[in-house]
Chains A and B, each alone.
Chain A
Amino acid sequence: MSDIEKLKHATYIIFHPFNGFYEMKYRGMGSFGIATTLFVLYGVMGILAFQYTGFIVKINPLFRMNSISIFITTLFPYLLFIIGNWSVVTLFDGKGSLLEIYMVICYSLIPLIVFNFVGLIFSNFIILEEIAILNFFLAIGNIWFYFIAFCGLCTIHEYTVVTNIKTLVITSAAVIIIIFLCMLYYTLIGNMVSFVSVLMKELLKRW
């Protein structure tokens, strides 16, 4: 399977998600490289959107722009979902591996990237009254993304629609738990660090 064929398969996936993801899973038509490129591209899109979205659509504080933090905050929800979904489906007889979930999400990002990019260009040529049209256009990309991602997850986990919805609901709960644990961990570490530093200060003042 050459790289060019794999690239062609990416365009096939967005129009035929069930077939496409099936072939990705069982016939090795997917590529980790392409998936990661798309993922990074989506993060870059986040940065571009922050900087180049038209002034009429959104005023962003460019003077305190931090592209790295935008990159991370754009991609973080998706990573969180991937981990949350994987941790749920392992308990629910899902056949998909962590890598496969990752690739499904990344391939599904294609319409989102394309529509956001075109929308970004358009946003510089519209006036306030035409924002509704732009939002409609962006909504197409969003719905497309959700549809493909849903189909993809159904295919790789070999789920019915109902089971998939169930796992998605549980995934959202799992995501909340993950965030909670993260916060707990960081506050605890923070407390630990401050405790040790206070202790050191005390000791230094004694001797």
Chain B
Amino acid sequence: MHRRIYGIAILLICLLIPGAPVWGKYTGEHNYIYDYWGSPNHSVAAFELYKVIDHKTMGSIALGSLDDVFCTEDSIYLVDTVSSRVHVLDDKLNLLKSIKVIRNQNHKIVVDDQTNQQLILKNPEGVFVQKESNELYIADTGGERIIVLDADGYYLKRIIKRPDNMIGTTVFRPSKIVVDPSNRMYVVVQSGSEGILELNEDGSFSRYFGVNKPKVNLIDYFWKNLASEEQKKKMKKTYAPSFNNVDIDHEGFIYSTTFDKAALNMVFRLNPKGKNILRETGYVQVKGDIHPVIENEFIDIAVNDFGVYAVLDKETGRIFIYNFDGDLINIFNEKGNMLGNVKEPTGIAWFNDYLIVSDKYLKCAFVFMPTRSGELALKGAEAYYRGEWEEAGRYYRKVIEMNSNYDIAYVGLGKNLLMQDQYKEAMYYLRLGNNQTYYSKAFNGYRNEILRKYFPLFFIGFLTLAFLIIKSEVAFHKREG
């Protein structure tokens, strides 16, 4: 009896001991994804921090800030607006070159003929490398010019100043720049309401590019309809929202972002006519968070060879990764104090399968590496984009094993099974992915299979029914006379 009391007493005392929380190594990550219902679900991390590029990488060169990042297959370009430098790093993250003073082909510093001053970068904000012509374009914002260098020797090729034939009210302060395969330049000017500047190869003005539709307020529209011409003059004008960043995909389509609150869309894929042709067939719209506490303000976009694009949100520090169809792949990172978290993110770029994010406040850039599941998801997206269904199906099946909340993998796998005429299994996966259209197709196949299998049964049933009806009719008419 006493023993029992002691036992209970010890148990009660044990209950008073507070539980010790156990922290795994990478549990600080807050990766999530939106499902069919638009509710955020936990997702397995698709990217994890690999390396940090900071003052240690730069050696003796002090970093003022980092404002943009651009990558080719084997080199990384970082733009430092405050100390007016462009840093070039190789694929092992070693500093190759830090450009500030522009030199010519003979390694002599270029001197301006008119002002007799050295040609020095002045608060550049953007950088781009044209692979075909192997040229490095620097959007020298403070100097109101675009400086074109050779991408290997870093010597001056040409300077593009404000074109004489430029029209409109936009000030020529190039902030971000991309160049398409035929050497047309697309230049973003911050808060320019006329669109993206398109310049010809020779630096002459071509046109303003891109349609950024503003939201229309119904009440404003009503009053503007009623107002007279004079009243309209006094009213506040609605300007088109401005684009704030661009990227270009391998097909030459321009991807662009805006964080203007008045804009209708936030992410654009512009066709040569300047119309937004972004595919948004995912569960949710391509606009970042669905019911945001803090409104997303996308500051940069990076698109890779198979149409997967990552958009960087300035307000929350989150990175949203979408595939070509506009399906969410993953949402990761945040503002915070842990290593890898950002304070004031400025730019994002794909470096092969890695993602590089620059931060102005921390004066560093983070290199994110895809995790095993992230790698599979990316490979799945690539195979799907290239039309290799079988391979995509295999990747999706592996992703599901690791991340059961990755709903688009269910759809991808279901579509793959549908193509192989495995209707029943396809139905299972398409239902998990909440895809009615393809479920219907799979169900149609399945139904035909069943009908064919039991056709004799259905036929006999039908015949019996018809016979019974005719018999009763005949009997009825006999009785009635």
Contact = CB atoms under 8 A, between A and B. Distances in A.
Question: Are A and B subunits of one complex?
Answer: yes
Interface of B: 36-37, 431, 434, 436-437, 439-441, 443-444, 447
Contact of A127 (B37, B431, B444): B444
Contacts of A55: 431, 436, 439
A56 B440 CA distance: 6
A7 to B, nearest CB: 25
A128 interface: yes
Nearest to A124: B443
A127 B447 contact: yes
B37 A61 contact: yes
Name the residue among A59, A61, A129 with the largest chain B CB count within 10 angstroms: A59
B98 to A, nearest CB: 55
A56 B447 contact: no
Contacts of B444: 127
Interface string A48-88: 00000001100101000000000000000000000000000
Contacts of A207: none
A81 B36 CA distance: 35
A125 B444 CA distance: 9
Nearest to A129: B440
Contacts of A59: 36, 434, 436
Contacts of B439: 55-56
A128 B440 CA distance: 6
Closest 9 CB pairs of A and B: A128-B440, A127-B440, A127-B444, A56-B440, A56-B436, A127-B443, A59-B434, A61-B37, A55-B431
Interface of A: 55-56, 59, 61, 125, 127-129
Contacts, number: 21
Chain B contact residues: helix, strand, loop or mixed: helix
A130 to B, nearest CB: 9
B390 to A, nearest CB: 26
B447 A128 contact: no
A174 B213 CA distance: 43
Contact of A56 (B36, B37, B443): B443
Contacts of A127: 440-441, 443-444, 447
B436 A125 contact: no
A129 B447 CA distance: 14
Contacts of A56: 436, 439-440, 443
Contacts of A129: 440
A56 B436 CA distance: 5
A61 B37 CA distance: 8
B290 to A, nearest CB: 15
Contacts of B447: 125, 127
A155 B80 CA distance: 85
21 contacts: A55-B431, A55-B436, A55-B439, A56-B436, A56-B439, A56-B440, A56-B443, A59-B36, A59-B434, A59-B436, A61-B37, A125-B447, A127-B440, A127-B441, A127-B443, A127-B444, A127-B447, A128-B436, A128-B437, A128-B440, A129-B440
Nearest to A64: B37
A133 B436 CA distance: 18
Contacts of A125: 447
Name the residue among B434, B436, B437, B447 with the largest chain A CB count within 10 angstroms: B436
Nearest to B436: A56
A28 B444 CA distance: 51
Nearest to A125: B447
A59 B434 CA distance: 8
A125 to B, nearest CB: 7
Given A55-B436, A56-B443, A59-B436, 11 more contacts: A55-B431, A55-B439, A56-B436, A59-B36, A59-B434, A125-B447, A127-B440, A127-B444, A128-B437, A128-B440, A129-B440
B127 to A, nearest CB: 46
A128 B444 CA distance: 9
A65 to B, nearest CB: 13
B410 to A, nearest CB: 13
Nearest to A61: B37
Contacts of A61: 37
